[in-house]
C-alpha cells in the first residue's frame, strides 16, 4: 500500500548549504520531518554545485509517517542569466534593471540563451527548444538584459 502524502513543500536553497535555520527549519518542522536528515541528504546531493553558489529549487514530499522524499530541479532562469552575464547571483545586488524597457544592465547572446534553454528544458513546459528559448528571452527582457543576435 502506498504511503499517504501529507504535504508538498517547495523551497529554494543554496546548493550544499542547507541548514535548520529559516526557511528550511520552520517549513519542515510544522510537518514533523527530520530537519537535519533533510539537510544532510540535500547537502550531499548538491555538493558538486556548492562552489558556484547556485540556488537549487527543491520539492519535498512529506508522508503520513513523517518520512519524506525530495527532488531537486535546475536553478531558476534568472540565476542562470545572472551567472552568464557576470551579475551578482545573491538576492538583492545585481537583481536586474528597475526599468527593464529603459535601462539595460547587460547583454546576452542567442548562443547563451540556447545554452540556458538546453539546461532548463527538463523543467520547462515547452514543446521544443525554440519554445524554451522564447521563454528564456522573455525572462531576459524582463530583467533588463539586451538580446544580441551575434554568436558568442
Query: According to the model, what pLDDT value does residue 150 have?
Result: 64
Percentage of the chain with pLDDT > 70?
Answer: 92
Mean pLDDT of all residues belonging to the chain: 87
Give yes or no for residue 94 having a pLDDT over 60. Answer: no
Give yes or no for residue 152 having a pLDDT over 50. Answer: no
**Of 6-10, 13-17, 39-43, the least confident:** 13-17
What's the pTM value of the predicted model, to 2 decimals? 0.81
Tens digit of each residue's pLDDT (9 = 90 or more) over 39-91: 999 999 988 887 777 889 999 999 999 999 999 999 999 889 988 888 776 65
5, 37 in Cβ contact below 8 A? no
Amino acid at each position: 500500500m502506498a504511503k499517504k502524502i501529507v504535504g508538498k513543500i517547495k523551497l529554494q536553497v543554496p546548493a550544499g548549504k542547507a541548514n535548520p535555520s529559516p526557511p528550511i527549519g520552520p517549513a519542515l518542522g510544522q510537518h514533523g520531518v527530520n530537519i537535519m536528515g533533510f539537510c544532510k541528504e540535500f547537502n550531499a546531493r548538491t555538493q558538486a554545485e556548492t562552489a558556484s553558489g547556485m540556488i537549487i529549487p527543491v520539492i519535498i514530499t512529506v508522508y503520513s509517517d513523517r518520512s519524506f522524499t525530495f527532488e531537486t530541479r535546475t536553478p531558476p532562469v534568472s540565476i542562470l542569466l545572472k551567472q552568464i552575464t557576470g551579475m551578482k547571483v545573491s538576492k538583492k545586488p545585481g537583481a536586474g534593471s528597475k526599468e527593464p524597457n529603459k535601462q539595460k544592465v547587460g547583454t546576452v547572446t542567442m548562443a547563451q540563451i540556447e545554452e540556458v534553454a538546453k539546461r532548463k528544458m527538463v523543467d520547462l513546459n515547452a514543446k521544443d527548444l525554440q519554445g524554451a528559448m522564447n521563454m528564456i528571452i522573455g525572462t531576459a527582457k524582463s530583467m533588463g538584459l539586451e538580446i544580441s543576435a551575434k554568436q558568442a
